């Protein structure tokens, strides 16, 4: 096995046992990037020299104080970071021409946290500009290609992070989700994506898209890797007033407790939206869990189509305000550099918030948001988790998002309700289409049920081989 193909867990063990050095590990990833990224385009910036230097530093620590690795679970491990997380001294663009040359003077909290855990930042990954999209096609720079089929989209907006994991260009990666931006590309690229409870992970330093929904989260090769990463980045942050002081458990502790007795809800409204192939794969996954002792129950949720309207209104409104600072006065370029999608969102959001329309749109959407929250609360009285399809389709061909202003909203229909409610969701592979593309399923839980979601996801992963499949590259 090549070093770049390792999981966090395997890499950590290897480094601990001195089977290889961090520099070798980093070089393996850099080599894969050099070989493949011209075709995949997952990275906007690759920190070749800095990463090698950081790896050497990690190796020094491993040599001098080998016990340090126990306290630093990412020591010497390469991580790819989505390009909407501010990285001190390292160009951060949000894939927008407006910030094409922006070098932040500070690190996002999650970046500080992974650095403190010893991570080596490998580079910054491509995304839809400002995270506006589900394809990476709205990136002002280039489109990322799906490692499973270069003619397909990786999904988005964290398409670069998901593709870099799927192509083994990195060991771990960070993404962000507003409604689907972690789970949808994970489902299309066959990776594990975890969208945490809103407020579980600090947004400080994450370039804001829709502030009341934005959520950093891990994109990884396995469920336990995602659990390792989340534990590192989660927690109360004095710099983000919306973070929760709810204690962060060691997600690995109960991860192998199995699914016996766990009540799994399956919503017919969610299955109805998905393509047949996906529906079948998800139902097969339900059977697998049932065989392992889970209690499956059919449930009914508010039709996810309503979430599209609610999400669109709230998100556009916040976007129009969040992008106001990019006026070209203090940093970055002027407003003329905004792409079509950003302009559309600014105009729509400005309209929703305007005097005379606010009540009809924004306020109404907030009321509907409460209804969706209550709907989930009600559902979680009867079941512990809800299982359903991730994206309604497998990876679509390049160009699919062009001329479809609502492309993202349609692709994210099954993520929007839980995102609006601030709930956590885990997306992982539960099969492959006839074309050989990954099929994703998601497991949703109540707020702060991360531990349970990892437990169910891990049990499924252990019982199946889907995660072991790799694209032929």
Just list the catalytic residues: 82, 157, 181
> φ and ψ at 146, to 5 degrees?
-75, 125
Q: Smaller CB distance to other proteins: residue 16 or 364? A: 364
Compute how many other C-beta atoms are within 10 angstroms of the C-beta atom of residue 418: 25
Task: Find the shortest distance in angstroms from Cβ 473 to other proteins.
Answer: 33
Structure tokens belonging to residue 230 = 């989340």
Task: Report the phi/psi class of residue 275: left, alpha or beta, with left for phi > 0 and alpha for psi in -120 to 50.
Answer: beta
Q: Smaller CB distance to other proteins: residue 15 or 342? A: 342
Q: Smaller CB distance to other proteins: residue 5 or 240? A: 240
Task: Find the shortest distance in angstroms from Cβ 266 to other proteins.
Answer: 32
364 three-state secondary structure: helix
Q: Decide the pairing of beta strands 192-195 and 425-432.
A: antiparallel
Burial class (CB in 10 A: 0-12, 13-18, 19+), 198: buried
Do residues 471 and 417 touch, judged by C-beta distance below 8 A? Answer: no
Structure tokens belonging to residue 446 = 């109540």
1 three-state secondary structure: coil
Do residues 143 and 185 touch, judged by C-beta distance below 8 A? Answer: no
Q: Smaller CB distance to other proteins: residue 94 or 286? A: 94
Q: Smaller CB distance to other proteins: residue 323 or 430? A: 323
- What are the residues facing 174 on neighbouring strands? 81, 218
Q: Smaller CB distance to other proteins: residue 228 or 368? A: 368
Q: Smaller CB distance to other proteins: residue 333 or 432? A: 333
Chain position carrying tokens 């930042």: 121
Task: Find the shortest distance in angstroms from Cβ 332 to other proteins.
Answer: 8
Q: Smaller CB distance to other proteins: residue 171 or 210? A: 210
CA distance 409 to 418: 14
Do residues 95 and 181 touch, judged by C-beta distance below 8 A? Answer: no
Question: CB under 8 Å to 46, separation ≥6 — which residues?
Answer: 30, 33, 37, 122, 123
442 three-state secondary structure: strand
Task: Find the shortest distance in angstroms from Cβ 167 to other proteins.
Answer: 27
Is residue 352 within a helix (H) or strand (E), and if so which, with residue range? helix 340-353
Taking only Cα atoms into account, the Rg of the chain, rounded to an integer number of angstroms, comes to 21
CA distance 314 to 24: 46
Task: Find the shortest distance in angstroms from Cβ 182 to other proteins.
Answer: 18
End-to-end CA, the chain:
14
Query: Which residues of the chain form contacts with other proteins (CB under 8 A)?
Result: 84-86, 92, 94, 99, 102, 104-106, 108, 203-208, 210-212, 238-242, 317-318, 320-321, 323-325, 327, 329-331, 350, 353-355, 358, 362
Q: Smaller CB distance to other proteins: residue 96 or 134? A: 96
Structure tokens belonging to residue 293 = 């002792």
Task: Find the shortest distance in angstroms from Cβ 208 to other proteins.
Answer: 7
Q: Half-sphere exposure (CA, 13 Å, Cβ side) for 385?
A: 29
CA distance 307 to 63: 53
Task: Find the shortest distance in angstroms from Cβ 134 to other proteins.
Answer: 22
89 DSSP assignment: T
Task: Find the shortest distance in angstroms from Cβ 28 to other proteins.
Answer: 31
Task: Find the shortest distance in angstroms from Cβ 108 to other proteins.
Answer: 6
- 44-83 exposure pattern, b = at least 16 Cβ within 10 A, e = fewer: bbbbeeebbebbbbbbebbeeeeeebeebbbbbbbbbbbb
């Amino acid at each position: 096995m090549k070093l770049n193909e390792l999981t966090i867990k395997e890499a950590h063990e290897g480094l601990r046992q001195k089977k290889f050095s961090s520099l070798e590990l980093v070089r393996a990833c850099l080599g894969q990037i050099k070989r493949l990224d011209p075709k995949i385009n997952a990275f906007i910036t690759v920190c070749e020299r800095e990463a090698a230097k950081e790896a050497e530093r990690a190796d020094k620590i491993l040599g001098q104080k080998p016990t340090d690795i126990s306290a630093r679970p990412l020591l010497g491990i390469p991580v790819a970071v989505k390009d909407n997380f501010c990285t001190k001294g390292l160009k951060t663009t949000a894939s927008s021409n407006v910030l094409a040359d922006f070098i932040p003077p500070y690190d996002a909290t999650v970046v500080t946290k992974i650095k403190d855990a010893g991570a080596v930042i490998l580079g910054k990954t491509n995304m839809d500009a400002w995270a506006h999209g589900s394809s990476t096609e709205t990136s002002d720079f280039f489109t990322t290609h799906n490692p499973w089929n270069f003619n397909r989209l990786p999904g988005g907006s964290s398409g670069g992070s998901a593709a870099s994991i799927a192509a083994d260009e990195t060991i771990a990666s960070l993404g962000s989700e507003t409604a689907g931006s972690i789970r949808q590309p994970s489902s299309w690229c066959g990776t594990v994506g975890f969208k945490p409870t809103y407020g579980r992970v600090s947004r400080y330093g994450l370039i804001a898209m829709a502030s009341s929904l934005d959520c950093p989260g891990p994109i990884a090769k396995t469920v336990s890797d995602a659990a390792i990463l989340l534990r590192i980045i989660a927690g109360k942050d004095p710099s983000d007033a919306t973070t929760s002081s709810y204690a962060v458990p060691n997600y690995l502790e109960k991860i192998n407790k199995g699914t016996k007795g766990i009540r799994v809800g399956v919503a017919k409204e969610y299955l109805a939206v998905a393509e047949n192939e996906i529906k079948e794969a998800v139902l097969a996954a339900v059977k697998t869990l049932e065989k392992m002792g889970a209690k499956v129950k059919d449930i009914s949720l508010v039709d996810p189509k309503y979430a599209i309207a609610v999400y669109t209104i709230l998100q556009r409104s916040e976007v129009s305000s969040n992008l106001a600072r990019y006026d070209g006065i203090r940093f970055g370029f002027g407003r003329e550099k905004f792409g079509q999608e950003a302009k559309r969102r600014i105009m729509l959001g400005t309209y929703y918030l305007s005097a005379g329309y606010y009540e009809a749109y924004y306020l109404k959407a907030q009321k509907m948001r409460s209804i969706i929250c209550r709907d989930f609360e009600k559902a979680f009285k009867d079941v512990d988790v809800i299982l359903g399809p991730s994206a309604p389709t497998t990876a679509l061909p390049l160009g699919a998002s062009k001329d479809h202003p609502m492309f993202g909203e349609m692709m994210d229909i099954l993520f929007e309700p839980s995102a609006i409610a601030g709930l956590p969701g885990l997306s992982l592979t539960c099969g492959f289409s006839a074309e050989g593309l990954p099929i994703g399923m998601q497991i949703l839980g109540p707020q702060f049920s991360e531990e349970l979601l990892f437990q169910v996801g891990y049990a499924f992963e252990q019982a199946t081989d889907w995660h072991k499949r790799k694209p032929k590259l």
